[in-house]
Structure 1
Amino acid sequence: MRFSDAALAACLLIASMPVLAADDETATRLSSDQCEISTPYNVLVDTGGVWLYRDSGTPKEIFFHDGTLSVDRAVQTVSTADAARLRKLESGARTLMPQVTSVARESTDLAFDALAGVVEVMTGSARKVRQVERHRAATLGYIDTTLGTGRWDQDVFGEGFESRIEDAAERMTGSLGRSVMWQVFTGRAGRMDARAERMEADLDRKIEARSAALQAQADVLCTHVRELQSIQAALEYRLAGQRLVMLEDAPRSDGDASVSRTSLKP
């Protein structure tokens, strides 16, 4: 049985837990540096304002709402121009969080759609496909109780999120292996081949179309993140003579000199 490149890429997408695939050779994780911009903070956006907080580093907590700024729980004096910029940052954060949630949900759906398709091709079992749906529901529920409530913690799309997709893939991989071996030894491999021929082209088209749409959605999100970084860069406020940096260029991973993840820059 042969799976085409797009279907195979989808299987690898699930197994290695990336969430965006622009083509067969490119996969991108949904993370705080998805847009080549990073934050060392956890973030909470709710009706009371925007909180950025972390366990170590200086400052440890930043809060802004309606043009006011607090750093490490001390209210700061800001200019009228900076108050306007802070309002734009707050408004942008409120717009951004639902966008991130939408990308997370769609990428999760794409991964589980691909997994469900592979399961159906290889087993023809509605019961096993329903197992995939249970994993999907649990992962979407996790997203809704984190990002969906305006909370981005560094581990939301680290171990916490990835473990859910990894667990589903590992559980289904074991089940698929047993099913394939059973079909081979019982002379039912031909049925599996017939299902693959019937379904793989449709599966490929769906995965490719949704991957392209998801990439476009992520590109829009990244544009908004860069706009927020530009507003931040225009802030006149200084903390101990240093700029206040909540968003920064992501550290380089090409083996060259690393970029420091400090929160204060000159």
Structure 2
Amino acid sequence: MPRPRIALLALACLLGSSVASATSVRTDDCDIDSDYGLRLHGGVIELTRDEGTPKTIRIDQGRLWLDGAEQTLNAADQRRIARIEEQIDAVVPEVRGIAIDAAAIAIQSIVHVAHVLGNENARDAKARAERIEKQFVSKLDEQLAGPGWDEAGLEAEIESLVADMAADFASEIAGLAVKAALSGDEKMAEDIEARAAQLEKVIESQVEERARMLEARARKLCPRLEAIAELDDALEVRTADGKPLDLVRR
């Protein structure tokens, strides 16, 4: 009886890790962060956080609300708030594209594995992948155009959908390893093992390469994020306790 097949099990694990790699493209290289989560409501920008004051910042057509109270802005701050609004509106479509492409990397790698390993459900995998990709786009556009875009919620949704699909196929791949080990057919086991070992290298390389491309796209957002940071630093409006807004940190 052949020994347990390591490459198949490694490939199953790689499917799970490829989801995390592909869907976690961030703009950390910009050295800009924020304590707030972003939501969009029909063109209105809402920044929220669980701790600190204010908890909610609302921006709409150059006007500013802190925890529901509209602020009186001088002319310079009105212009700054309007510019911040413009920059955020410009960033969102690109973030949308990056999110969709990141999810596609993970989905396509899973389908590729099913196809090359001769999985009997490979055709179903492709159809399922197409459905999930449509779900991503639909969910994203629904949030952008409807009740609001929840940045953290969307990321969790993407990771959950892709992770579910990855888990299904990781289980099937692990099952192939067991089947090969128990079948007594050394040639079949060696063939599956060889294909799995090659796939592991190919998938890892493809995911890393495409993730790097997405990271490069994300870094192109840095000038806009830096512009937001500069405008934020220049704001003269203060919170109820006399502190700067600090929409972003750098």
Q: Same fold (TM over 0.5)?
A: yes
Aligned equivalents of 2:177, 2:137: Cα separation in 1:
29
Aligned equivalents of 2:68, 2:204: Cα separation in 1:
52
For 1:82, the equivalent position in structure 2 comes to 77
One-letter amino acid matched to 1:102:
G
Q: How many residues align?
A: 236
Query: Normalising by structure 1, what TM-score?
Result: 0.71
CA deviation map 1:84-111 (0-9, x unaligned): 1111101111111111111111110011
For 1:248, the equivalent position in structure 2 comes to 249
For 1:157, the equivalent position in structure 2 comes to 155
Q: Tell me which of 109, 123, 127 is aligned to 2:123.
A: 127
For 1:256, the equivalent position in structure 2 comes to none
Task: Name whichever of 175-184 and 109-118 sits farther off.
Answer: 175-184
SS in 1 for 2:220: helix
For 2:214, the equivalent position in structure 1 comes to 214
Q: 1:92 to 1:53 in 2, by over 3 A?
A: same
For 2:174, the equivalent position in structure 1 comes to 177
CA deviation map 1:214-264 (0-9, x unaligned): 121111123322221221111121223210112224xxxxxxxxxxxxxxx
Deviation at 1:199, TM superposition (A): 7.0
Q: 1:65 to 1:143 in 2, by over 3 A?
A: closer
Listed as ranges, the matches of 1:58-137 within 5 Å are 58-125=53-120, 126-130=122-126, 131-137=128-134
Aligned equivalents of 1:140, 1:31: Cα separation in 2:
19
SS in 2 for 1:154: helix
Aligned equivalents of 1:201, 1:167: Cα separation in 2:
23
Contact 1:122 1:179 survives alignment (8 Å): no
One-letter amino acid matched to 1:129:
A
One-letter amino acid matched to 1:77:
T
Q: 1:172 to 1:84 in 2, by over 3 A?
A: same
One-letter amino acid matched to 1:212:
R
Deviation at 1:206, TM superposition (A): 4.9
CA RMSD of aligned residues (A): 3.5
For 1:232, the equivalent position in structure 2 comes to 232
SS in 2 for 1:245: coil
Aligned equivalents of 2:13, 2:220: Cα separation in 1:
24
- 1:13 and 2:17 are equivalent in the alignment: yes
Deviation at 1:2, TM superposition (A): 9.5
CA deviation map 1:153-195 (0-9, x unaligned): 433324x443223222222111111134334525423553675
Aligned equivalents of 1:183, 1:136: Cα separation in 2:
32
For 1:254, the equivalent position in structure 2 comes to none
Contact 1:121 1:195 survives alignment (8 Å): yes
Higher Rg of the two aligned structures: 2
Aligned equivalents of 1:179, 1:8: Cα separation in 2:
10
Contact 1:14 1:115 survives alignment (8 Å): no
Aligned equivalents of 1:198, 1:173: Cα separation in 2:
16
Q: Which blocks of at least 5 consecutive residues in structure 2 are unaligned?
A: none
Q: 1:139 to 1:180 in 2, by over 3 A?
A: farther
Contact 2:16 2:170 survives alignment (8 Å): no
SS in 2 for 1:165: helix
Q: Which is bigger in relative contact order (C-alpha 8 A, separation at least 6)? A: 2
- 1:37 and 2:38 are equivalent in the alignment: no
